[in-house]
Structure 1
Amino acid sequence: MFERIIRFAIEQRIVVMIAVLIMAGIGIYSYQKLPIDAVPDITNVQVQINTAAPGYSPLETEQRITFPGETAMAGLPGLQQTRSLSRSGLSQVTVIFKDGTDIFFARQLINERLQVAKEQLPEGVEAVMGPVSTGLGEIFLWTVEAEDGAVKEDGTPYTPTDLRVIQDWIIKPQLRNVPGVAEINTIGGYAKQFLVAPDPKRLATYKLTLNDLVAALESNNANVGAGYIERNGEQLLIRAPGQVASAEEIANIVISTVDGRPIR
């Protein structure tokens, strides 16, 4: 058999050379079309569970948040490994599955376990899953800056708070619609917020507590709907806008009344 192949290659030299050239050409063409990744993604199938717990020390975070989270993940189908990281005010649990496990199936399993684990977490602490991404996910950084001399419509210059508003409410929502974008994180600037600093002495004077103050702010910072009125084939919606929009409106909120006088 082997001798026949050698004899045929010698007798049909031209045919053999043509076949070799054709195969070489096919190889060169296939090499040019071969998809090559400079940094191949070798990340295993993993899901991260992040829990923010402001005010908790690393030890408290591990004992009260991380440990219940890891325990809840035990016994998942296809589970390979579970590792965690506990920091001051942050718990991160990484659940690793066997290769070939569907990432969305894995996230569904974890979501079911998280519903059970919520009962063991401290009040006000919520565990959420990270976005669908890999350890080699591409990261693009940008900055939002105001040019020299740029001013707002009222003539005042842009502040870090204004730039943060532009990032969170203009740029971020549009980039979230770009295919392939899993998550957008904002760092820097100042988030617009109203800070209420109560005076304990004045609260004690009127026999008020911090809970009374919080309840007054919550009840006076909500929109209320009252249905609608039909007139001439039209529906007129009735609503009472009650969300505060400025510090002056917060200052006018009535906390309680003493001898018929409102306390603000």
Structure 2
Amino acid sequence: MNLPISSWAIRNPIPVVVAFTLLMVAGIYSYTRLPVKQFPNIAFPMVVATVIQERAAPSELENQLTRRVENSIASLPNIEVMQSTVTLGVSTTIVQFEIGVDLQKAKDDIESRVNQIRTELPQSIQPPIINALDFTGGALMTFAVSHPEMSATELSWFIDDRISRELQGVRGVGQVSRVGGVNREINVVL
């Protein structure tokens, strides 16, 4: 059983070849105009609030800083997830908003909320750092650190205590983390 279109195409090959050629040229043209990025812009509505208090214990930071920051931010509209991490001297609160939220407004709202409770926070903290996360290409960097005269423990402590804090204070740096090395442990034997 022959379909009428296939019979017509066999009897009239020139329009078929012209249509095929036009579609092929349009495909090649579109392919050359298609923007390709190794790291495309991704818009996740996330804001990070970082508060640093030099040499403060995590439990102290949690009680004096993190809970107060979370409580001040929690009543903002359109919050999907709020998560806090406390390490030695650093309290980080990540707030993820619903898709479609104006990220600059969300950042400004969090900044104003944190500034409102600034007088309730310890005086020894550094100015809070509020950043909107921007996943634009090229924002990730990886470094390897070594020192011939430092042990792994000393080097890990130096990176956590000095280098990470300095990098965290640079405008535009969202997060600094150490992978590898030695993690500090406290063993309690009863």
TM range (shorter): 0.5 to 0.7
User: Retained in 1: the 8 A contact 2:48–2:131?
Assistant: yes
The verdict on how the C-alpha distance between 1:16 and 1:115 changes in structure 2, with shifts beyond 3 A counting, is same
Structure 1: stretches of 5+ with no match in the other structure: 143-180, 185-264
Task: Name 2:47's counterpart in structure 1.
Answer: 47
Question: How far is 1:8 from its partner?
Answer: 3.8
Deviation larger for 75-84 or 88-97: 75-84
User: Retained in 2: the 8 A contact 1:49–1:128?
Assistant: yes
The verdict on how the C-alpha distance between 1:40 and 1:22 changes in structure 2, with shifts beyond 3 A counting, is same
Secondary structure of 2:54's aligned partner? coil
Equivalent residue runs for 1:135-146 within 5 Å: 137-139=138-140
Query: How many positions carry a matched residue from both structures?
Result: 145
Letter paired with 1:117: I
Task: Name 1:34's counterpart in structure 2.
Answer: 34
Question: How far is 1:182 from its partner?
Answer: 5.8
Task: Name 2:152's counterpart in structure 1.
Answer: none
User: Retained in 2: the 8 A contact 1:133–1:182?
Assistant: no
Task: Name 1:61's counterpart in structure 2.
Answer: 61
Equivalent residue runs for 1:106-145 within 5 Å: 106-125=106-125, 126-130=127-131, 133-134=134-135, 137-139=138-140
Task: Name 1:16's counterpart in structure 2.
Answer: 16
User: Retained in 2: the 8 A contact 1:82–1:93?
Assistant: yes
Distance 1:182 1:13 in 2: 64
Q: For residues 86-133 of structure 1, give each alpha carbon's deviation from its aligned partner in whole angstroms, at most 9, with x where no partner exists.
A: 011111111111222222111122122223332432224342213663
User: Retained in 2: the 8 A contact 1:132–1:182?
Assistant: no
RMSD: 3.0
Larger Rg: 1
Equivalent residue runs for 1:249-260 within 5 Å: none
Equivalent residue runs for 1:1-264 within 5 Å: 3-42=3-42, 44-125=44-125, 126-130=127-131, 133-134=134-135, 137-139=138-140, 183=172
User: Which gives a bigger RCO, structure 1 or 2 (Cα 8 Å, sep 6+)?
Assistant: 2
- Structure 2 length as normaliser, TM-score? 0.64
- Structure 1 length as normaliser, TM-score? 0.47
